[in-house]
Copies of this chain bind each other. A is one copy, B any other.
């Protein structure tokens, strides 16, 4: 029982060969989403395109929702390492950059929306954990960024950093939804305006 992996509840994909195979399947799944968007996100449809049975997917990922979370997380991770975050940006700008990267991969924005909607329903633990953790992390990062900008005088210092963080994330998410339904909605323009408001520009 020394280093046996049987102790944990999440016993999937822990053996050397298992993790390799899991990663291989995840790679294919990401490729599938990148190629054909988020249509037909059923276990069976993904399994067919990946080249395995749907039972194999549940074997490695536990459930459809955990697979979707894994696909989104891995896609986001790759985006981040491809183009690291610039250090000196305004809050809304950093959300804009992230949104732009996501939009380059078809289906990723829809996938995010599906996961977020599932998260606020009951009995969707995987999506709930994903969304809660993501929002908490984002709010912390952006609030810190806001405080930096405030201390260097590039942002109004009469604003609560935590509130600004929540507001900027909310604006970005909400604008993305509106933009998906109506591409004439100026997602970037609205975020730029928010940045100007936060900076306290008179114009």
Q: Which residues of A contact B (CB under 8 A)?
A: 37-39, 109-110, 113-114, 116-123, 128, 131-132, 135-136, 139, 158-160, 162-164, 166-167, 169-175, 177-178, 180-182, 185-186, 189-190, 193-194, 197-198, 203
Q: Tell whether A167 pairs with B194 under 8 Å between CB atoms, given A110-B120, A120-B110, A174-B173.
A: yes
CA distance A121 to B180 in the complex (A): 10
Contacts of A190 in B (CB 8 A): 163, 166-167, 170
SS of A interface (majority): helix
CA of A12 to CA of B77, assembled, Å: 48
Q: Which residues of B contact A164 (CB under 8 A)?
A: 193
**Do residues B166 and A186 form an inter-chain contact, with CB atoms below 8 A?**
yes
Do B117 and A113 have beta carbons less than 8 Å apart? yes
- Chain copies in complex: 2
Given contacts A160-B189, A197-B197, contact A121 B132 (CB under 8 A): no
In the complex formed, the residue of B with least CB distance to A138 is: B178
Q: Which residues of B contact A197 (CB under 8 A)?
A: 197-198
The answer to whether A182 touches B116 (Cβ under 8 A) is: no
Q: State the Cβ distance, A188 to closest chain B Cβ, in Å.
A: 10
A116 touches B177 (CB 8 A): yes
Q: How far in angstroms is the closest Cβ of chain B from A112? A: 10
User: CB distance B166 to A185 under 8 Å?
Assistant: yes
Which chain B residue shows the least CB distance to A133?
B181
B120 contacts A180, C-beta separation under 8 Å: yes
Q: How far is the CA of A172 from the CA of B180 in the complex (A)?
A: 17
A117 close to B117 (CB less than 8 A) = yes
Given A163-B189, A170-B172, A170-B178, 8 additional A-B pairs, CB 8 A: A38-B121, A110-B121, A114-B117, A163-B186, A166-B185, A166-B186, A170-B170, A170-B173
CB distance from A70 to the nearest CB of B (A): 19
Q: Is the beta-carbon distance between A175 and B181 smaller than 8 angstroms?
A: no
Q: Chain B contacts of A185 at CB under 8 A?
A: 139, 166
